[in-house]
Amino acid sequence: MRIVIIGGTGNISTSVVRLLLGQGHDVTCYNRSGAAPDGARPMQGNRHDRPAYEAAMQAARFDAAIDMIGFSPEDAESNLRAFRGIGHFVHTSTVCVYGIQYDWLPASEDHPLRPITQYGRDKAAMDARYLRAFYEDGFPVTVLRPSTTHGPKQGLTRQVAWDFSWIDRIRKGKPIIVCGDGNALHQFLHVDDAAPAFAGVLGHAACFGQVYHLVARGYTTWAEYHRTAMRVIGREVDLIGVPFEDLRRLNVPDFGICEEIFAHHVYYSAEKLYRDVPAFNPQRTLEDAMRDILAAMDADGRVPNSDELTWEDRIIAAQRRVRA
């Protein structure tokens, strides 16, 4: 198949491109830098330059397209023009369309959507627009909703912030903070395990008009996630539980991701994807995924020196005083 990936050099898309090339597809990566891995065709452009983007996609007449970086209803409208007549279109959405209030867990794809962020609202609007295009005009779309999908490019996040200094803290034997008891449920998927879902839906008419959670079966807690990292790093440190409301008041830098997602039980059913896409069969354990990602972060010098940050020691000291 002749497939275009909008993006193609990002966190998830790098693995998707590698897999599609390995399967013998003719792959084009569309991005601003014009970068593409060996074997893929580069196509330079900015999707926000809408007339040029849409004209380029219409002229190229791809068999299929995967949009990794659609974030607004305007992106959806643009794609409906750009990919008129395409054989299959895959939209990368997010589980953030559901928000944080759940009527049942694991949430299935028919769970009510209650997004609490602009990101989630925009993705929900896009999902709805594409599905309307499928019902009204037969636009052959599949919507994939990933939860946390980590890989060498994204790095290893933590529960209480978008921050990577916790890795250095463990290495230096310093305690790290979790939110509350650290037992909020979460799902982690390695990008190499996510890629077969993108490749596996492509070209399958049964997947048209369908929405799938892109998660592996089961869940972990954030406390277990951080303990797994300790095993990988080879050093055990204390996990210090700090109540959510305190964290909110204590100006944790980049706390938004915790407030909007990581503090809450977010657990999604993977059954529909496993049923319809047999190629989706995640193999990497959390421990194995962490080893891979940590090696990449170290190679690029992306683990910050925790001695240069003071917020976590300040909060831990205050928490210990209160407990004492």
Ligand X SMILES: NC(=O)c1ccc[n+]([C@@H]2O[C@H](COP(=O)([O-])OP(=O)(O)OC[C@H]3O[C@@H](n4cnc5c(N)ncnc54)[C@H](OP(=O)(O)O)[C@@H]3O)[C@@H](O)[C@H]2O)c1
**Spatial separation of the C-alpha atoms in residues 86 and 94, rounded to whole Å:** 23
Q: Are 67 and 78 in contact (CB under 8 A)?
A: no
Q: Shortest Cβ distance from residue 153 to ligand X (Å)?
A: 6
Return the residue of 20, 25, 27, 31 that touches ligand X, per CB under 6 A.
Answer: 31
Contact 256, 248 (CB under 8 A): no
Q: What's the CA gap between 142 and 226, in Å, rounded?
A: 34
Minimum gap (Å) between residue 203 Cβ and ligand X: 21
Nearest residue to 73 via CA among 1, 9, 124: 124
Residues in contact with 133: Cβ distance below 8 Å, sequence separation at least 6, in sequence order: 80, 139, 141
Binding residue (CB under 6 A) for ligand X from 3, 10, 54, 122: 10
CB contact burial 291-321 (16+ within 10 A = b; e otherwise) = ebbbeebeeeebbbebeeeebbeebbeebee
Interface with ligand X (CB under 6 A), residue from 35, 52, 206, 318: 35
Rounded to a whole number of angstroms, the minimum distance from the CB of residue 119 to ligand X is: 7
DSSP-assigned beta bridge partners for residue 210 = 142
Say if residue 46 is exposed, middle or buried (CB neighbours under 10 Å; 0-12, 13-18, 19+). exposed
Among 3, 4, 7, 237, binds ligand X (CB under 6 A): 7
Residue 149 makes contact with ligand X by CB under 6 A? yes
23 makes contact with ligand X (CB under 6 A): no
Binding mask 46-85 for ligand X (x = CB under 6 A): xxx-------------------xx----------------
Binder among 148, 220, 221, 228 for ligand X (CB under 6 A): 148
Nearest distance from C-beta of residue 31 to ligand X, angstroms: 3
Closest residue (Cβ) to ligand X?
A: 10
Question: Backbone phi, then psi, for 264, in 5-degree steps?
Answer: -110, 160
**Token output for 84:** 């008129």
Q: Which of the residues 254 through 313 are near ligand X (CB under 6 A)?
A: none
Tell me which of 106, 140, 146, 152 binds ligand X, using CB under 6 A. 146
Please give the biggest Cα pair distance in the chain: 69
* Those residues with Cβ within 8 angstroms of residue 178's Cβ, 6 or more apart along the chain or in another chain: 159, 160, 222, 223, 226, 239, 240, 241, 242
**Among the listed residues 13, 142, 165, 187, the single contact to ligand X using CB under 6 A:** 13
Among 28, 78, 79, 92, binds ligand X (CB under 6 A): 92
Our CB check for ligand X shows the closer of 119 and 208 to be 119
Does the protein bind ligand X through residue 101 (CB under 6 A)?
no
Nearer to ligand X, 47 or 88 (CB): 47
Residues contributing to the site for ligand X (CB under 6 A): 7-13, 31-33, 35, 46-48, 68-69, 92, 94, 146, 148-149, 153-154
